[in-house]
């Protein structure tokens, strides 16, 4: 938990991986869970594959701050290849955690983290997504991982409201909702904390 | 009920609730989503607005002018270069006294081309005769849009209204918002019943004809009088809005100003970040406060002079350059407004945040340190400076 009961998340991913969607879904679901939220991607020249950053603030009191997040409680890395080019743990609070989409274990991936001493969590989001959704959409698994590790929301309420959010998001293709829900549940179980 | 919506979704929702007669539509980042959402509402039969997609913003504003002159209610949404392309028609709308409502999602003007936030677009349009309301967040953007029509359509005003919000920072950020129910909104906004309009057969009239020197000045003075009269109407409409929403609005918001010695004057979302910085400074015993401008046109000069009269040092923050060589537009207005005070605060101008350059709590803290030094020494120092830009060496 950050200052004044506020939890701040920073997402790192690449254009096309659904990072913006995951960031906004987290805000939407937390709001439905009675929290005050801000979910906002950093916008610029949008290109498929380019590094992108997105942010969430979740708190019990309304936050008026409208700057980017420089000292997050949690960092979510949706694309492991970014570890080579981006200092993902820059500014990450000591008691926080970095959550990485990788086939590797926390111990295996830690040497890539430029001296980060704190908690490292991993999830093989690609495998889960490909097994259940049939395609590589790592954003929904990583959203589940962020909720699990941060405990910012209760799992049961999170799942109930995610289903509502999916109905809103996928109003035109409701057939994908069930698989996305299964992806969430599987991801909640599989996160490794190290 | 608290809902998660982006600023653009909030404006689109307000348009849906109002169900205006006509929307002149041409997309431009970051306001495009508003137009897209409304197109969906129309296609789904949720509203019966005449949605008129055109080939440019010059034409989308022309559509609004024609519709409003015919006695209909017209809205549009735009940003940046789109607003610049409307420039000629903005003057026509105001001088024809047509209370059109325009959602301006602020974005830097080219060049260099940039999609992020500053106020160079709407500040460039500050002399067009439009009322300008600015919002700190999605809630204020929604509320301002709902108040725009009762303000602009008031018989003593009859001017178009531009409701501004920060591009991306507000337009694309999902935050909690409290929405009014549609019936309440419709009752509040009411019916548009202009006294004169093109299609009134009892009194046919021409709109926008040539005006000779013998009359042009009288018409311009009437327009100026209408802008002055708008101040009281904005306060009346805001008081009426408070009754339906519980949310209070004035010409500007004063934050921790009761006993403040150092203060900022600024617009938009940065005020939120500055409030958090001020709360921190107050805990350290610094008497810091801020004034957030909501209404830039008409400019609340007398009221602002009163609010700042007891302050020792003020920083006016402009999120647009202005290129006057003498400070940004908010600074020019604010410093001029304080000229008649017997004792004036020290005042500096900070141009900041251009093209979306982020503003942090620490930046605001440093600014208050500078104000404290000015207040202690009595020396204003450099009056017009920029904040957050790197040096030539740093950018190599």
Q: How far apart are CA B164 and CA B258, in angstroms?
A: 28
Three-state DSSP class for B176?
Answer: strand
B347 and B216, same domain (yes or no): no
| CB < 8 Å to A27, chain B | 4, 174-175
Q: How far apart are CA B296 and CA A188, in angstroms?
A: 50
Residue B361 and residue A41: Cβ atoms within 8 Å? no
Distance of CA B274 to the CA centre of its chain: 18
Q: How large is the ipTM?
A: 0.94
B175 interfacial to chain A (CB closer than 8 Å)? yes
The CATH code of the domain that includes B309 is 3.40.50.920
B200 and B171, same domain (yes or no): yes
Polymer length in residues for chain B: 396
Residue B176 and residue A62: Cβ atoms within 8 Å? yes
Q: Among residues A170, A147, A169, A149, which one has the least CA distance to residue A159?
A: A147
Residue B154 lies in a domain: yes
The CATH code of the domain that includes A187 is 3.40.920.10
Q: What is the mean pLDDT of residues B63-76?
A: 97
Domain boundary (B213, B245, B277) is at: B245
Band (A169; pLDDT cuts 50, 70, 90): confident
Q: How far apart are CA A61 and CA A94, in angstroms?
A: 23
CA distances (Å), origin B343, targets A17, A163, B185, B339, B384: 58, 61, 44, 9, 21
Q: How far apart are CA A98 and CA A121, in angstroms?
A: 6
Polymer length in residues for chain A: 194
Q: pLDDT per residue over B73-102, tens digit each?
A: 999 999 999 999 999 999 999 999 999 999
**Is pLDDT at B320 greater than 50 in this prediction?**
yes
B274 and B231, same domain (yes or no): no
Query: Looking at A32-46, B88-102, B230-244, which range is the least confident one?
Result: A32-46
Q: Please tell me the predicted confidence (pLDDT) of residue A171.
A: 87
**Is pLDDT at B334 greater than 80 in this prediction?**
yes
Residues 52-91 of A with CB under 8 A from B: 62-68, 70
B240 interfacial to chain A (CB closer than 8 Å)? no
Q: pLDDT per residue over A7-20, tens digit each?
A: 999 999 999 999 99
Taking the CA atoms of chain B, what radius of gyration do you get in angstroms?
A: 21
Q: How far apart are CA B65 and CA B51, in angstroms?
A: 14
B229 and B295, same domain (yes or no): no
Q: Which residues contact B188 (CB under 8 A, 6 or more apart)?
A: B146, B150, B180, B240, B241, B244
Q: pLDDT per residue over B152-193, tens digit each?
A: 999 999 999 999 999 999 999 999 999 999 999 999 999 999
Alpha-carbon torsion B103, B107, B111, B113, what sign?
A: negative
Domain boundary (B187, B222, B245) is at: B245
**Is pLDDT at A3 greater than 90 in this prediction?**
no
Q: What is the mean pLDDT of residues B263-276?
A: 98
B282 and B201, same domain (yes or no): no
Strands A51-59 and A74-77: unpaired
Q: pLDDT per residue over A29-38, tens digit each?
A: 999 999 999 9
Measured CA angle at B99 (ends B70, B305), to 5 deg: 165
Nearest to B174 among A39, A44, A63 (CB): A39
Percent of chain A clearing pLDDT 90 (strictly above)? 91
**Is pLDDT at A1 greater than 70 in this prediction?**
no
Percent of chain B clearing pLDDT 70 (strictly above)? 100
B68 and B179, same domain (yes or no): yes
B305 interfacial to chain A (CB closer than 8 Å)? no
**Is pLDDT at B247 greater than 50 in this prediction?**
yes
Domain boundary (B217, B245, B273) is at: B245
Mean pLDDT score of chain B:
97
Tokens of residue A17, six digits? 């991986």
Backbone φ and ψ for B78, nearest 5 degrees, come out as: -160, 180
Q: pLDDT per residue over B95-150, tens digit each?
A: 999 999 999 999 999 999 999 999 999 999 999 999 999 999 999 999 999 999 99
Domains in chain A, number: 1
Q: How far apart are CA A3 and CA A115, in angstroms?
A: 24
Q: Which domain holds residue B28?
A: 2-245
């Amino acid at each position: 938990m950050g200052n004044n009961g506020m939890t701040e998340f920073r997402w790192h991913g690449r254009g096309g991986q659904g990072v913006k969607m995951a960031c906004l879904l987290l805000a939407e679901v937390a709001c439905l869970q009675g929290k005050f939220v801000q979910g906002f991607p950093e916008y610029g020249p949008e290109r498929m594959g380019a590094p992108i950053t997105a942010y969430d603030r979740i708190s019990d009191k309304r936050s008026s701050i409208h700057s980017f997040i420089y000292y997050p409680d949690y960092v979510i890395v949706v694309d492991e290849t970014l570890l080579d080019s981006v200092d993902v743990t820059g500014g990450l609070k000591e008691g926080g955690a970095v959550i990485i989409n990788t086939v590797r274990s926390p111990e295996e991936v830690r040497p890539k983290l430029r001296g980060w001493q704190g908690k490292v969590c991993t999830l093989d989001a690609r495998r889960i997504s490909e097994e259940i959704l049939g395609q590589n959409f790592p954003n929904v698994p990583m959203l589940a991982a962020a909720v699990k590790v941060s405990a910012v929301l209760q799992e049961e309420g999170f799942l109930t409201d995610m289903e509502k959010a999916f109905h809103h998001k996928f109003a035109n293709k409701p057939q994908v909702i069930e698989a996305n829900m299964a992806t969430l549940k599987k991801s909640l179980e599989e996160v490794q904390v190290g | 009920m608290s809902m998660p919506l982006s600023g653009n979704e909030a404006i689109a929702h307000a348009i849906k609730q109002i169900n205006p007669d006509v929307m002149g539509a041409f997309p431009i980042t970051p306001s495009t989503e508003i137009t897209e959402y409304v197109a969906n509402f129309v296609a789904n039969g949720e509203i019966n607005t005449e949605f008129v997609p055109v080939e440019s913003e010059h034409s989308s504003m022309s559509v609004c002018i024609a519709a409003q002159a015919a006695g209909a209610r017209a809205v549009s949404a735009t940003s940046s270069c789109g607003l610049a392309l409307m420039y000629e028609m903005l003057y026509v709308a105001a001088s024809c006294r047509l209370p059109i409502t325009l959602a301006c999602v602020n974005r830097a003007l080219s060049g260099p081309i940039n999609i992020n936030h500053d106020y160079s677009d709407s500040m460039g349009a500050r002399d067009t005769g439009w009322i300008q309301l600015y919002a700190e967040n999605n809630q204020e953007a929604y509320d301002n849009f709902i108040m725009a029509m009762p303000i602009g359509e008031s018989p003593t005003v009859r001017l178009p209204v531009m409701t501004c919000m920060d591009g991306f920072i507000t337009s694309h950020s999902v935050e909690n918002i409290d929405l009014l129910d549609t019936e309440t909104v419709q009752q509040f906004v009411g019916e548009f019943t202009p006294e004169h309009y093109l299609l009134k057969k009892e009194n046919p009239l021409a709109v926008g004809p040539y005006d000779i020197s013998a009359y042009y000045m009288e018409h311009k003075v009437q327009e100026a009088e209408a802008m002055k009269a708008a101040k009281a109407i904005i306060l009346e409409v805001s008081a009426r809005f408070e009754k339906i929403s519980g949310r209070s609005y004035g010409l500007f918001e004063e934050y921790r100003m009761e006993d403040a010695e150092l203060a900022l004057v600024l617009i938009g979302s940065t005020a939120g970040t500055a409030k958090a910085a001020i709360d921190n400074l107050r805990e350290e015993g610094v008497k810091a406060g801020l004034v957030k401008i909501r209404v830039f046109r008409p400019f609340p000069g007398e009221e602002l002079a009163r609010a700042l009269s007891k302050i020792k040092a003020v920083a006016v923050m402009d999120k647009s350059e202005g290129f006057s060589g003498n400070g940004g537009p908010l600074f020019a207005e604010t410093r001029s407004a304080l000229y008649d005070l017997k004792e004036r605060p020290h005042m500096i101008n900070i141009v900041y945040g251009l093209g979306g350059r982020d503003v942090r709590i620490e930046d605001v803290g440093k600014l208050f340190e500078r104000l404290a030094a000015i207040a202690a020494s009595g020396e204003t120092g450099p009056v017009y400076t920029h904040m957050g830009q790197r040096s030539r060496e740093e950018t190599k």
